[in-house]
């Protein structure tokens, strides 16, 4: 049961409403995700059809780009926690983001323009990712911190609200109006996202940076512990040796961050599978009959199924599935939800592998069959991704909120880097490619469940409250 919880006082009664400034952050996220997923939804098709890249090479470029978007959070999170603060980091790096979209719209028809635009987007998108997801949690105080888990449902809902319209619209715009317009619209929405975020500048709660509070931060403690690891006494953990130089609170915060990272390592394979909905699944869709109930459907447009399902499944799971399971006597902790979601991911890739096996044998089947793997992956995403955002924020000490969020996003970087490598070496073909990932996901899921069983849950809030589950 939770312990050491600060109870609401008569002066500060528990609030049932979100802080009013949340609307600016959620609005920013919806527009930013429209821009990102709209551009991303046509990236592989654009490289294959207009730049004449081989499918395997375009898939490798796609996953390298996505992995870069999830590597830069390490830099953005560090800058935000240590120097600039979350607000300034989000605002400044959004300008890189806008410049990247503009480069794709104007010069994306050349390889140099494509890579330059993608690099700018990776720096902008990656840099602000850990900051926005942590910043939304920072807006809560002792009066409303019980709503943190609900705000991440809303936050994720806004992500899929934006991505739904972009993945439905932009793949249609590309063949009808050309690449410049198709890439330009996401750029315009990124400009709107930046403006909406700026509008709330006078209302935000801005946590002090670790440099101002005197907190050491994760990297100095880690580097010192590694450099002096031979000084460890029997029974001491790696970070204990750093107590001779750093405050106990700094060492404990770094240890907490390291423990979270160990849990997150296995999640990278989930993202290795999830992001293939924008690459290998799209390529598979181009080989299927592109009609559903008589309507023509572009292969890239099938990605719009995911946000529709997410929008529907979030309230179903938070208001129905999880409470029902808990009534049966099974507590749906964050780690249990994530473990179950990873198992569901296996089933999604088994189904897409079976579809590919039918295509390999020359069967002509409708693209409507892809609804099955998309549905299963959406269920897995609700259980893994939304829960992971909440878990990353609550488990992070106040001085490391953005840093831990960057650790969470680093799992996406590792997953896409792995998929890019598998696509580039081109060892597997046909259904074998998908069965390989299904088997790998099953093995990793078991490792995750084993590691999660040993994790000690301690939730940290910005007001200094700590909750421990026993």
Domains of the chain: 22-204+247-468 (1.20.1250.20)
Residue 86 near residue 204, CB atoms below 8 Å:
no
pTM: 0.73
pLDDT for the residue numbered 140: 82
pLDDT for the residue numbered 9: 44
Q: For the chain, what percentages of helix, strand and coil (3-state, to nearest 5) are there?
A: 75, 5, 20
pLDDT for the residue numbered 468: 56
Give the H or E element holding residue 158. helix 148-177
CA angle 34, 35, 38 (to 5 degrees): 75
* CA 154/CA 338 separation, integer angstroms: 18
pLDDT for the residue numbered 4: 35
Task: Give 468's strand partners.
Answer: 458
Residue-level pLDDT, tens digit, the chain, 470 residues = 233 333 344 445 566 688 889 999 999 999 999 999 999 989 988 999 889 888 888 888 888 898 888 888 888 888 888 889 999 999 999 999 999 999 999 998 888 999 999 999 999 988 888 889 889 888 887 777 777 777 888 888 888 888 888 988 999 999 999 999 999 999 999 999 999 999 999 999 988 887 777 777 788 888 898 898 888 888 788 888 888 888 888 888 888 888 888 888 889 999 989 988 878 898 899 999 999 998 898 888 898 888 889 889 988 998 899 999 999 999 888 899 999 999 999 999 999 999 999 999 999 999 999 999 999 999 999 999 888 888 887 787 877 777 788 888 888 888 878 887 887 776 778 899 999 999 999 999 999 998 888 877 766 655 555 565 54
Residue 144 near residue 14, CB atoms below 8 Å:
yes
pLDDT for the residue numbered 465: 55
pLDDT for the residue numbered 466: 55
């Amino acid at each position: 049961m939770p312990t050491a919880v600060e109870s609401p006082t008569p002066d500060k009664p528990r609030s049932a409403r979100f802080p009013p400034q949340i609307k600016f952050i959620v609005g920013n996220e919806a527009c930013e995700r429209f821009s990102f997923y709209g551009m991303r939804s046509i990236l592989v098709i654009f490289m294959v059809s207009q730049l004449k890249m081989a499918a395997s090479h375009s898939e490798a470029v796609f996953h390298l780009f996505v992995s870069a978007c999830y590597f830069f959070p390490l830099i953005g999170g560090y800058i935000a926690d240590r120097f600039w603060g979350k607000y300034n980091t989000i605002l400044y790096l959004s300008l890189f983001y806008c410049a990247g979209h503009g480069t794709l719209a104007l010069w994306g028809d050349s390889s140099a323009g494509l890579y330059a635009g993608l690099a700018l987007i990776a720096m902008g998108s990656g840099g602000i990712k850990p900051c926005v997801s942590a910043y939304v949690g920072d807006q809560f105080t002792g009066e409303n911190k019980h709503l943190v888990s609900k705000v991440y449902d809303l936050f994720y809902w806004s992500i899929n609200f934006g991505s739904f319209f972009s993945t439905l619209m932009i793949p249609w715009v590309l063949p009808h109006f050309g690449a410049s317009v198709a890439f330009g619209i996401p750029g315009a929405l990124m400009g709107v996202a930046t403006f909406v975020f700026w509008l709330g500048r006078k209302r935000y709660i801005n946590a002090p940076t670790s440099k101002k509070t005197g907190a050491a931060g994760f990297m100095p403690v880690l580097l010192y512990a590694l450099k002096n690891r031979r000084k460890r006494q029997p029974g001491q953990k790696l970070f204990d040796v750093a107590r001779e130089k750093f405050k106990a609170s700094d060492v404990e915060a770094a240890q907490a961050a390291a423990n979270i990272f160990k849990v997150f390592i296995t999640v990278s394979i989930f993202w290795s599978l999830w992001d293939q909905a924008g690459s290998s699944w799209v390529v598979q869709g181009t080989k299927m009959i592109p009609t559903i109930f008589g309507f023509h459907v572009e292969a890239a447009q099938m990605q719009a199924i995911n946000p529709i399902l997410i929008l529907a499944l979030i309230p179903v799971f938070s208001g129905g599935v999880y409470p029902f399971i808990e009534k049966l006597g099974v507590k749906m902790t964050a780690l249990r939800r994530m473990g179950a979601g990873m198992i569901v991911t296996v089933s999604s890739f088994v189904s897409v592998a079976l579809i590919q096996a039918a295509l390999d044998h020359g069967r002509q089947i409708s693209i409507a069959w892809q609804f099955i793997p998309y549905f299963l992956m959406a269920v897995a995403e609700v259980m893994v991704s939304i829960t992971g955002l909440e878990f990353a924020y609550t488990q992070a000490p106040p001085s490391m909120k953005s840093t831990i969020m960057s650790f969470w996003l680093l799992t996406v970087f590792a997953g896409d880097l792995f998929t890019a490598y598998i696509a580039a070496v081109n060892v597997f073909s046909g259904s074998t490619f998908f069965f390989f990932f299904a088997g790998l996901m099953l093995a990793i899921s078991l490792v995750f469940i084993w590691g999660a069983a040993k994790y000690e849950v301690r939730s940290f809030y910005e007001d200094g409250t700590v909750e421990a589950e026993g």
